[in-house]
Structure 1
């Protein structure tokens, strides 16, 4: 069968049977899948027809070490043959889960050392909400249940994490948001103080934040913001949860984004880069004090867990993924290549008329598209979808954010980027911007 015949067969099967996540059902039926990927290596992916793309999003912000790492396939095969899966319920354990928990505790900031494994970011978020509410319950403060999250935040699509997410379109999708979630201005510590006064500190379990908001537009915190929030939480007996599902494992040029701001959260949420997407894996990490108090105050069974918590094959892959990241100095490479890419994208402000602010930390960044570079005025019609489409035609996969007033291109390529890859990325994006600019 030719590649084109295979593609046509897969398109029809896709349209008939495959319900795609976060996609237009009607577009799928009208046009079939946008790309059917066939293979991947390094920072590039190929479709069934052999067209090559630079993956400027590392798929979903997660393929941190890059594609095609045979070491991960080999360690997965070895573990699958030895002991592919066993349960971690009722005190059962396995060596990969134990060693990965110890490694995560070693590498996370401060005294974060109690590790609960999940299968992804949404599970990590929902687990954290339940754990902190359970914590306050056993502490004799069961009324402390509310989770305060920031507007523009993204925390996942499970019931609780959808409710915590501060992007309205995710709320509009469903008619049954979970109670106990309150959203606050994303930039103002004073707004948080006011909310505490209104809601009562004795009703708030935790403040939840991505150190750098990802899907909301790669929004970096204002100077001093996170440090002040940490202080307010301490003053009001409120736990601080940092969602580093996107930020973590070298994405920002440090192993964890919290390290840029010299803060240690009470609870740290991980996923994505912990396994670079090769297997489903996530984690909730608790500080020493919380871990010890939960042990002391919870004599019964911890009534929370997933079938795949501490999955031995996933944990073995996670360990090897971290080993590769450390041995190949990918966190530092993220910082260096991130600065270089941002420098080249900033040059587009001079070479084009519609590129506004470029912001980044490591290989997590955003480019604003504006009608007027001096005032920041936006176009009446969103422009970034056209630029993203033009870039894809030229072999660069990006993503755009058009929530609220934003018209933003976001990027998060694999951390193994080279200078050659950076030049390819910047060149293609420049061509796409100039093409679209002509049509405006």
Structure 2
């Protein structure tokens, strides 16, 4: 038995994979065992090279194999890898990152609570929103509104907020006080608020572009209408920028596409470190921060072991430097437009393509006939990793390559997709 076979057997016996088919793993073993990454490419243990057309999980924004991020981690680990941030203890990278985020984020977001990832960030946002209303003397405000086709994570609160029914069906006991409305239906949102009582709602949570639910870009005036409703009824607006943050959409944050919309809270993760360390967080507005400061008594009884992790924060600071120094946000805008144009050219050639959509380096092809999973599988055989979304009767292929992608590499993706569709 060679090394690849040996690892595959160990994988089947000992590794319970996240968001994977257990039956497929047991029958076929791991689809890839990756050993190396460089740029937009991944190489497996057998030497096969594929384009990482999903930035792994929408998160490897600056690409694979960045030695300067490894050096930033090494430097920090040699001085202070980790120390607790409970009881007001702190560390230099966490402080500097919080300050940097305040410079980058849409106003009026100024203060950050750090987590280990996106699900924790979303759960934290819901808890902080409810605690906020307790402090404000409105304990009835505890309901959270999310949207169909949304994805907010898999911890208990985040699962309950996620608008993809199969994720909620995974467990028979969800967290209470979560509601869902059609993803772009403003009238239904207002009707729900009126029906349940405006003074019972703590927050509305929404992704600037729905990612895992199929890359759905809202109408230009959608978020302005949502913000107006939040203002009218005194409801907090939480934006989930876990996928859309740090350049993915061609802006540093996705909400920057919607003029005049200011969130009260913002969840982030993924692109903040480009996957080189586990880090997420929630930013809150200056007003919320002041209210917490003035109204809180005793200890804020919420925190994670790795909140403000020194090494993760040091990596994030270097990662943000790369985004800025290499102008990767602008590159995402330019290459994203080329990618969408290329996908639309495929739609001219193939009548099985119903539509194409995207913003920055988030893009989707809507097929007919249930072909997306088959196309994704064949594309992987031809050297391109992408994803199929079949929730809610969709037949969608989605792409989100690293922000470092070149024009030539965009063309390579289009060529592989064209050859794949032709073969099918």
TM-score of the pair, normalised by structure 2: 0.99
| C-alpha distance in 2 between matches for 1:49 and 1:8 | 10
The 3-state SS of whatever aligns with 1:309 is coil
**What's the counterpart of residue 199 of structure 1?**
196
| C-alpha distance in 2 between matches for 1:420 and 1:223 | 31
**What's the counterpart of residue 337 of structure 1?**
335
**What's the counterpart of residue 317 of structure 2?**
319
**What's the counterpart of residue 412 of structure 1?**
400
Asked if residue 213 in structure 1 is aligned to residue 201 in structure 2, the reply is no
Match of residue 14, structure 1, among 11, 16, 19 = 11
- 1:223-302 counterparts in 2 under 5 A? 223-262=220-259, 263-302=261-300
The 3-state SS of whatever aligns with 1:38 is strand
| C-alpha distance in 1 between matches for 2:250 and 2:226 | 23
CA deviation after TM superposition for structure 1 residue 417, in Å: 0.4
Q: Is the 8 A contact 2:106 2:262 kept in 1?
A: yes
| C-alpha distance in 2 between matches for 1:213 and 1:111 | 23
| C-alpha distance in 1 between matches for 2:309 and 2:415 | 42
CA deviation after TM superposition for structure 1 residue 110, in Å: 1.1
Q: Is the 8 A contact 2:220 2:258 kept in 1?
A: no
| C-alpha distance in 1 between matches for 2:255 and 2:220 | 13
CA deviation after TM superposition for structure 1 residue 351, in Å: 1.7
Asked if residue 149 in structure 1 is aligned to residue 137 in structure 2, the reply is no
| C-alpha distance in 1 between matches for 2:219 and 2:258 | 11
The 3-state SS of whatever aligns with 1:357 is strand
Asked if residue 47 in structure 1 is aligned to residue 53 in structure 2, the reply is no
Give the alignment's Cα RMSD to 1 decimal.
0.8
The 3-state SS of whatever aligns with 1:335 is helix
1:7-45 Cα distance to aligned partner (Å, 9 max, x none): 011001000000000001111111110110010000000
Q: Is the 8 A contact 2:208 2:244 kept in 1?
A: yes
| C-alpha distance in 1 between matches for 2:288 and 2:187 | 27
CA deviation after TM superposition for structure 1 residue 435, in Å: 1.1
| C-alpha distance in 2 between matches for 1:185 and 1:28 | 34
Q: Is the 8 A contact 2:143 2:177 kept in 1?
A: yes
CA deviation after TM superposition for structure 1 residue 211, in Å: 1.1
CA deviation after TM superposition for structure 1 residue 188, in Å: 1.2
1:290-336 Cα distance to aligned partner (Å, 9 max, x none): 01000100021100000000000000000000000100000000000
| C-alpha distance in 2 between matches for 1:35 and 1:415 | 23
1:408-437 Cα distance to aligned partner (Å, 9 max, x none): 00110000000111111110011111111x
Asked if residue 426 in structure 1 is aligned to residue 423 in structure 2, the reply is no
Asked if residue 122 in structure 1 is aligned to residue 110 in structure 2, the reply is no
Q: Is the 8 A contact 2:241 2:267 kept in 1?
A: yes
The gaps in structure 1 that reach 5 residues or longer are 371-378
Asked if residue 108 in structure 1 is aligned to residue 105 in structure 2, the reply is yes
| C-alpha distance in 2 between matches for 1:111 and 1:352 | 46
**What's the counterpart of residue 382 of structure 2?**
394
TM-score of the pair, normalised by structure 1: 0.95
Residue-pair matches, total:
423
**What's the counterpart of residue 168 of structure 1?**
165
| C-alpha distance in 2 between matches for 1:178 and 1:242 | 20
The gaps in structure 2 that reach 5 residues or longer are none
CA deviation after TM superposition for structure 1 residue 64, in Å: 0.3
Q: Is the 8 A contact 2:49 2:383 kept in 1?
A: yes
